[in-house]
Every structure is written in C-alpha cells, then in structure tokens.
C-alpha cells in the first residue's frame, strides 16, 4: 500500500473505488519559420482556429457558464494581437506564436500572490490547447475509455477536460497540481465530490483499475489498501453522508448560537458566476465582491455602463441580500494588460488599491457612479481597501459625495443612504480603528493581508511560511481591538479573510464579538453548524482565555481542547 498526505482539500468527503488515470495527448509544436509570403495565410489559419474554438465554447457555455469566460479569452484582442504580431514580425507559424504568447501569460498569472489569480493560468493553458488542437485538426477525449465509477487521477484538469466527463461515473478527484480555487475544485465543491489537489508526483505510481481511497477530510490518499481499511472507510463515508444531510437541514434555521446570539454568514465572490454558485448555499449575502476581476477580465478599463450592468445583475441575483462591493484593489500581484504600473521594489507596499484610485480619480469616480446607480436595484454597500489614514477616507468620501451630487443633478436614482465601510488590513488601520469607526458604517477585517503586514511576513515565501500564522497573539489582539473599537461606536465588524472559515477559529472569533463571517460559499453550512452548536457565553470565555496567551501554539492547544 502507498500513501500520500495532502495539504489542499478542495472538497471534503470520501471516495473508494478504482482509479482512472487521465493521460493527456501531447502535441509537438513545429517551430519552423514561415516566409513573408505565407504571413497572411498563417494569420487566416489562426483566425479560423479561433472561430472554430469559439463556436465549440459557445455551445459548451449553454450548460456551463465558465466557458463564457473561455469564449472571451479565445477571442481576447490582446492575445490575438500578440499571436498575429509574432507571425508578422518574427515569421513564426501560428502554433509556435500561440504557444509563446500562452507561455508569457502563464508566467504573469503564476507569479501572482493571489491564489485565485494564479489559477487563471490554468484557464489560459486550456484555451491555448483548444486553439492548438483546432489549428491541427485534433479531437481529444481522455475519458473515452472510462466505463465504470472511478476516482479520477490527473496532473491537472481543465474546464475542457471536465466537459468531456460523464460526471455520474466520478467518485472523486486527485490531481498532482492545482489549488483550491482551480476549476476542478469549484466543480467538485458544486457537486459535492471529494477532491484533493496539489498532491505532488503521483501518476508514476498509479495505474487505471488500482483501488484507491480518498480521505478528503484529513487529506490522505491510499493506493491498493487492504480489505480492512476499505471496510473502515466505507463506514466513515456513510457517517459523512449522514452529516451532510444534517447540514442541509440547517438552511431553514437562523444563524444564532444556542443562547440566541445572532451572526451573519456571507460569501466571498469575484464575479457573477461566483454569485450564482454561492446562492446554492445558505449564504445571507456577499461580504466581499472583488470588483478588480471586472478589470482583469477586460482588455480596457470597464466603462460606467459595463460596471453598472455587472453590479446591478449581482444585486438582483441576491434578491435584497447584502452585496458588499470592494472598490478597485489592483496593483501588488494584480496587474492589468492595458495599464502600465510603475516599477517598484515592493509593489505590495506601493502604488495599489485606494492609493491608485485616489490618484486616478477618473477611474475611481467611474466605479463609484456605477455602484451608486446599481444600488437602486438591491442592498449594496461600498467598501474601501487598504486604508491607512483619515486623510484617505476623507478624500474617498468626498469623491463619493461628488458622484452623488452628479447623479442627483442628472436625476438618476440611487440609494442615498448607501452604507460605506473599509477594510482593516494594515497595522495603521488597526491603530486608528477607534477614529475610523466614528466615520464609517462597517469594518471588514482582511486577515490574509493583515497577518502578513502585522507580522512582517511574506506569505508567499516558503522559507518563512511557518511564521505566517493568524493565531499569533499579536494578530488575535489586533482583531479583538478592531472589533471592540467598532462596537463602541455601533459600527458592525465582519471578516472576509480565510481565517473566517477556519474550523479552529470560528468560535474564537464569535467570542471576540465578530458580527459577520464571509468565506467561500461551500464553507458556510459547516461554520453555521459549528456556531449553532455553542453558546455565546462559552465562546466569550474561550476568547478571553485565548487573548491572555503569548504563543500561537498555546492558543491552538486551547482551541483543540475546548
């Protein structure tokens, strides 16, 4: 028997059955040069491949919305111009030009700190492969031989791969690469299929037909287990299914503790498709709409009308539930193809987020006007990122008031009492929380950046990854200070970082007084179950004890024994 231990559980559960190893067809790309006389014909060949790929993607998009994004990517003007430019200027054939452009984009995406954006490299690879196969006239289906229920084992799986699967035959997924925001992870969560990603080298050991067990709770994979272990895991799987049914029954019950203390459970989303996915769960709203994806998925700064339509649709999908739109948080690891950011030694501490918006006021006002207009169609809140000073807040609010005055003059409807809040993600914001709380309607604590900045730890640096720990007493005290400052001035405090859904942290955060937990939609039911199972009094005592401890290990020991 062979065993793998995995850190990335994308979708919890158990899978027991034969493996089906996905072997993808490799295509050799000819790098031979073309003559100047062949340029026009080569461009026409590439454009015909784009047309073929988009026709296929349009059909797929009718059943799976992710392919609408792939349709747009296949026809993206920047990609098109990049390929055509290499054909013209470097006399490359279309295949070689396409692969070079693909590699350039993949490097950009994979260098980003944000995991969601890193996973967009997979979309680029998938669309490029589809274009390459269209150029070569190849039809590839790696699942043609799959005839029985199986655990899918692959290097990685793209949307095009999953579109060819018979999902009724899929017991689980195990991929060597990928993260928890990858396409296969989202599919697995959506369909409640056990999924482990980022397993590492595995394909060399697994053959189709071998018995596998996926424990997507602990993060373990067993190859060729004995009958005793198979029986044990079948029993675990039955208990897990019973627990899932219990979670489903929570949907009609209020979000409150045993002693009646209420809390809100919301979702973090990046686009309209994320909201459609999230509304399948027990969410009470969207605590974080990452508006930057509207900018990153375009080849131009989105117009007021384009943004208005997106925000309006988002608000209408939520049917009156909260929609908190974070204003443009670009820069750092998130760049735009059509805008050149200044070269900086440390972009995470540089020209980004609200700093860019207050400098590029036309861009900022366009977004604020769009959000205000959309607020006439639902319950929308505005949230500023990366705030560090009262001057920034004053300036941002002044621009918001200018936009309101313009819309009034134009007789355009909007919510005149729209709530305005800010992210707490820097030490400066924590230390000024008392003053900020008197000027805003709500706080949202962004623990991912707050932990990084508070501890002076680069969370992307593996050599010091062990130092990045939100259970560090300094971080916990910063969170508690922020919550208390907010509550002294009747300012609600939420959290939209990964810490909000941490199994060990949820009771602790509740005890600190956190009002709103915003997380991946698939985590909501579990957190609701956990918090409904305790009393606020017990959670408060837990928080009081934790805040007196001086190391993260002591905090974790307390939480594990509580």
| Domain residue ranges in the chain | 2-20+150-225, 36-136, 260-560
Fold of 2-20+150-225: Glucose Oxidase; domain 1 (3.50.30)
Residue 259 parent element (H or E): none
The sign of the dihedral angle between the CA atoms of 116, 122, 123, 124 is: positive
What's residue 13's pLDDT? 92
Q: Domain 36-136 adopts which CATH fold?
A: Enzyme I; Chain A, domain 2 (1.10.274)
SS (H, E, C) 408-423: HHCCCCCCCCCEEEEE
Place of tokens 């943004």: 307
Q: Does the CA dihedral 23-32-121-368 come out positive or negative? A: negative
Count of residues making up the chain: 562
Local structure of residue 523 (DSSP, 8 states): G
Tokens representing 186? 């989202």
534 is a catalytic site residue: no
- Yes or no: say if 250 and 501 are a contact pair by the CB < 8 Å rule: no
Q: Show pLDDT as tens, one digit a residue, over the chain (562 residues).
A: 899 988 778 888 999 999 999 887 677 787 778 888 999 998 999 999 999 888 888 877 776 666 777 888 888 888 899 999 999 999 999 999 999 999 998 888 887 766 667 767 878 888 898 899 888 887 777 787 889 999 999 988 877 787 778 889 999 999 998 777 677 787 787 677 999 998 888 888 999 999 999 999 899 999 999 999 999 999 999 999 898 888 888 878 899 999 999 999 999 998 888 898 888 887 999 999 999 888 877 778 999 999 999 999 999 999 999 999 999 998 766 677 777 777 777 767 888 899 999 999 999 999 999 999 999 999 999 999 999 999 999 999 999 999 999 999 999 999 999 999 999 999 999 999 999 999 999 999 999 889 989 999 876 666 787 888 999 999 999 999 999 999 999 999 999 977 898 889 999 999 999 999 999 887 898 899 999 999 999 999 999 999 999 999 999 999 998 8
What tokens appear for 235 in the block?
Answer: 């029993």
Q: Which class is domain 260-560?
A: alpha beta
Contact (Cβ atoms closer than 8 angstroms) between residue 127 and residue 74 = yes
Residues annotated within the binding site for Mg(2+) are 425, 449
Q: Look-up: residue for tokens 């675990």?
A: 236
pLDDT of res. 114: 67
Give the number of other Cβ atoms within 10 Å of residue 26's Cβ: 5
Please state whether beta strands 14-21 and 211-215 pair in parallel, antiparallel, or not at all (unpaired).
antiparallel
Residue tagged active-site, from 70, 183, 261, 534 = 183
Full-model pTM: 0.72
pLDDT of 460 reads: 62
Catalytic status, residue 487: no
Catalytic residue among 195, 403, 496, 534: 496
Q: Do domains 2-20+150-225 and 36-136 have the same CATH topology?
A: no
Report the run of H or E that residue 240 belongs to, with start and end.
helix 227-248
The Cα 369–Cα 327 span in angstroms is 11
Write down the pLDDT at residue 334: 67
Residue set of the binding site: 290, 326, 425, 448-449, 459
Give me the long-range contacts of 68-74 (CB less than 8 A, separation at least 24).
Answer: 68/273, 69/123, 69/273, 69/297, 70/123, 70/126, 70/127, 70/130, 70/159, 70/160, 72/297, 73/123, 73/124, 73/127, 74/50, 74/127, 74/130, 74/131
Q: Binding-site residues for phosphoenolpyruvate, please?
A: 290, 326, 448-449, 459
Rounded Cα gap, residues 184 and 162, in angstroms: 8
H-run or E-run covering 386:
none
d(Cα 111, Cα 177) in Å, to the nearest integer?
A: 15
Q: What is the DSSP annotation of 501-517?
A: G-TTTHHHHHHHT--EE
């Amino acid at each position: 028997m062979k065993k793998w231990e995995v850190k990335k559980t994308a979708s919890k559960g158990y899978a027991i059955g034969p493996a089906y190893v996905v072997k993808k067809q490799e295509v050799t790309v000819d790098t031979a040069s073309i003559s100047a006389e062949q340029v026009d014909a080569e461009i026409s060949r590439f454009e015909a491949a784009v047309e073929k790929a988009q026709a296929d993607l349009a059909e797929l998009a009718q059943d799976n919305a992710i392919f609408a994004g792939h349709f747009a990517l296949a026809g993206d003007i920047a990609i098109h111009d990049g390929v055509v430019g290499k054909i013209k200027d470097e006399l490359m054939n279309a295949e070689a030009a396409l692969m070079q452009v693909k590699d350039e984009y993949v490097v950009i995406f994979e260098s980003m700190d944000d995991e969601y954006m890193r996973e967009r490299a997979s979309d680029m690879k998938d669309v490029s492969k589809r274009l390459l196969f269209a150029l070569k006239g190849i039809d590839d289906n790696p699942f043609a031989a799959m005839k029985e229920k199986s655990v899918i084992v692959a290097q990685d799986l793209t949307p095009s791969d999953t579109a060819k699967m018979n999902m009724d035959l899929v017991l689980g997924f195990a991929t060597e690469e990928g993260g928890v925001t990858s396409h296969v992870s989202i599919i697995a969560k959506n369909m409640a299929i056990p999924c482990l990603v980022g397993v590492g080298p595995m394909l060399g050991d697994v053959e189709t037909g071998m018995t596998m067990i996926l424990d997507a709770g602990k993060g373990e994979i067993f190859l060729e287990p004995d009958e005793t272990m198979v029986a044990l895991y079948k029993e675990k799987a039955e208990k897990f299914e019973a627990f899932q049914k219990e979670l489903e029954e929570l949907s009609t019950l209020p979000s409150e503790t045993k002693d009646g203390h209420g809390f809100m459970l919301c979702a973090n989303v990046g686009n309209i498709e994320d909201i459609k996915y999230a509304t399948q769960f027990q969410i009470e709203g969207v605590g974080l709409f990452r508006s930057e994806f509207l900018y990153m998925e375009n080849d131009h700064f989105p117009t007021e009308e384009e943004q208005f339509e997106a925000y309006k649709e988002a608000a209408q999908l939520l049917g009156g539930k909260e929609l908190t739109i974070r204003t443009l948080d670009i820069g750092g690891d998130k760049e735009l193809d059509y805008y050149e950011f200044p070269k900086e030694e440390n972009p995470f501490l540089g020209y980004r987020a609200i700093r860019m918006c207050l400098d590029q006021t036309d861009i900022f006002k366009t977004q604020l006007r769009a959000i205000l207009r959309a607020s006439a169609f639902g319950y929308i809140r505005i949230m500023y990122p990366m705030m560090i000073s009262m001057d920034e807040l004053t300036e941002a609010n002044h621009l918001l008031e200018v936009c309101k005055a313009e819309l009034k003059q134009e007789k355009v409807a909007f919510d005149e009492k729209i709530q305005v809040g800010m992210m707490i993600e820097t030490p400066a914001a924590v230390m000024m929380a008392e003053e900020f709380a008197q000027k805003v309607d709500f706080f949202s604590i962004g623990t991912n950046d707050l932990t990084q900045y508070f501890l002076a730890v680069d969370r992307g640096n593996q050599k010091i990854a062990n130092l990045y720990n939100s259970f560090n007493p300094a971080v916990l005290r910063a969170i508690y200070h922020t919550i208390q400052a907010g509550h002294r001035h009747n300012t609600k405090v939420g959290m939209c970082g990964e810490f909000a859904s941490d199994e060990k942290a949820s009771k602790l955060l509740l005890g600190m007084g956190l009002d709103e937990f915003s997380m991946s939609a698939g985590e909501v039911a579990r957190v609701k179950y956990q918090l409904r199972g305790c009393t606020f009094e017990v959670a408060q005592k837990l928080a009081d004890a934790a805040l007196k401890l001086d190391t993260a290990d002591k905090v974790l020991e307390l939480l594990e024994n509580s």
